[in-house]
Chains A and B, each alone.
Chain A
């Protein structure tokens, strides 16, 4: 069944012509090249060409210690840098059987949700801009700036904060961290209805996204499309619910599911996820206990021989980290199952038969980050 779905049948006719979308196209959000075969205005098929920003992070990790790997994972999906760090840290901690302090777990969850919000802000801004609504960019960036200010105060950097280390955090958060987080939650609750007025209720936006790029649940499962894109098709794949890590099992939150599977339902999932993130933040931010910010770790971490796997929910889907260790201080092999790689290759199935303008809408609704695809 799933083999039939993922099979790409390429039939080219004489009057078709091939257009390169990218690697420098604004709507591909990075150096992604799509070889689009057009029959008039309609997309016949498309082939994604990846590898323009391949840096060999997996290979580089084989000559780095477990502490040094962390700063490389920032550079994969830079918009969910914190979750990427957390994935490697959790894998190492579980392999060594270390119990991190409660304070660390709570702070990690707060950071997860703040990063998710910042990432969805950028996605909302860019999605609106892809479809011709330039205003959204200013409003999204205005609110994202508030999250980045919290990051800058506590970790010193705005985007790539290598703040996690195996065993805990790099240093303690700023004393004002919880206060400023709470201020942001209150601020953004007031601003979120503006997003609805500006874009969600807009009739042009409805016409551009409703019924465009319909992905049935079977297709999402067959391609392994996870995260908000998969949940827009009714695929319950939230790792925070399926395999809870940190303190997610102690927090009550909804898993957002929409059944329609078109671009608009993928949009709605992310919008409602923002609200849900605010709920989680409100619930958690007062519960952070006092205590150490890191567990006792040896200066040189050596994992026992074996294979370890850990998955986390990033802003775009399920990130898996697979470590093979031969008992040395460097991993023998490290493999990242990145969400964007799977999310990209469903694009051909979604865009086939549609118009080229819809391809931009579908591409935006999948929320791709290209450095995560190439790694």
Chain B
């Protein structure tokens, strides 16, 4: 007799707990309230990432194609993975003396772990985070980028970018 009672109570309990769970899911089925899923990629035009989103490392240039990178190599030293390579060249300045300037600031996105040390340690604030996050490419050589734009020069003075 006892086992029969136990059997039927367990059935009753099972149905009750099922009902409790189904009530929650049913509530969201008929009235979803706010829609929590992102409609990506349909919302590409309106999608705005957070201010400091770590998409990739970029070097901001102003309207005169000038940047702040002096080619000191501190970012290269601080990078834990060797994602940054600095190639400098010597060109004569106004007085005719050879001066070391940046030739290529090479950034390997494929090796970057987004630790922010290069941006944090740059003494002239030449690097920043870019918000672009769609990095998928068909050829991995495309992940090696040159951050300073061709023909760009060093900005000597003025407010930081």
Interface, chain A (partner B; CB < 8 A): 64, 67-68, 70-72, 135, 142, 145, 152-157, 160, 162, 165, 170-171, 174, 194, 197-199, 201-204, 299
Tell me whether A156 and B117 are in contact (CB under 8 A): no
**B residues 9-43 touching A (CB-CB < 8 Å):** 10, 13-14, 17-18, 20-21, 23-25, 36
Which residue of the partner chain A has the closest CB to B34?
A142
Contacts of B20 in A (CB 8 A): 197, 201-202
**The one of B18, B23, B50, B113 that contacts A153, using a Cβ cutoff of 8 Å:** B50
- B13 A203 Cβ-Cβ under 8 A: yes
Distance of A194 Cα from B24 Cα, bound (Å): 7
Given known pairs A135-B25, A194-B24, the reply for A152 and B80 (CB within 8 Å) is: no
Q: Could you jot down 19 A-B contacts, CB within 8 Å?
A: A71-B114, A71-B115, A135-B21, A142-B36, A152-B49, A153-B50, A156-B54, A157-B53, A157-B54, A160-B113, A171-B120, A174-B50, A174-B51, A194-B24, A197-B21, A198-B24, A202-B17, A202-B18, A203-B18
A71 to B78, CA, bound (A): 12
Residues on B with C-beta less than 8 A from A155 are 52
Chain B 50-62 near chain A by CB (<8 Å), digits 1 or 0 = 1111100000000
Task: For the complex, give the distance between the alpha carbons of A156 and B129 in Å.
Answer: 9
Besides A64-B80, A157-B53, A160-B113, 19 other A-B contacts (C-beta < 8 A): A67-B78, A68-B80, A68-B117, A71-B80, A71-B117, A142-B36, A145-B36, A153-B50, A156-B53, A156-B129, A165-B120, A174-B51, A194-B24, A197-B23, A198-B24, A201-B17, A202-B17, A203-B17, A204-B17
Minimal beta-carbon separation of A193 from chain B (angstroms): 9
A142: chain B residues within 8 A (beta carbon): 36
Q: Bin the interface of chain B by size.
A: 20 to 34
> Is B120 touching A197 in the complex (CB atoms < 8 A)?
no
- The answer to whether A157 and B114 have CB atoms under 8 Å apart is yes
Query: What is the bound-complex CA distance between A67 and B54, given in angstroms?
Result: 19
Q: Is B85 an interface residue (CB 8 A)?
A: no
A170 to B52, CA, bound (A): 12
Rounded to whole Å, the gap between the CB of B102 and the closest CB of chain A is: 22
A234 to chain B: closest CB distance in Å? 27
Bound CA span A153–B48, Å:
11
Q: How far is the CB of A140 from the nearest CB of chain B, in Å?
A: 12
B115 touches A70 (CB 8 A): yes
Query: Could you tell me the distance in whole angstroms from the C-beta of A253 to the nearest C-beta in chain B?
Result: 29
User: Is the Cβ of B115 less than 8 Å from the Cβ of A68?
Assistant: yes
B18: chain A residues at CB < 8 Å are 202-203
Neighbouring B residues of A71 by C-beta, 8 Å: 80, 113-115, 117
**Bound-complex Cα distance A203 to B16 (A):** 9
B51–chain A nearest beta-carbon distance, Å: 8
A170 touches B21 (CB 8 A): no
Min CB distance, A368 to chain B, in Å?
A: 24
Max count, chain B CB within 10 A of own CB: residue among A70, A198, A203: A203
B window 84-129: CB within 8 A of A: 113-117, 120-121, 129
Cα–Cα, bound, A64→B52 (Å): 26
The 7 closest A-B pairs by CB, nearest first: A71-B115, A68-B80, A156-B54, A156-B52, A203-B17, A203-B14, A153-B50
Q: How far is the CA of A310 from the CA of B11 in the complex (A)?
A: 52
Nearest CB of chain A from residue B27's CB, rounded to whole Å:
9
- A71 CA / B113 CA spacing, docked (Å): 8
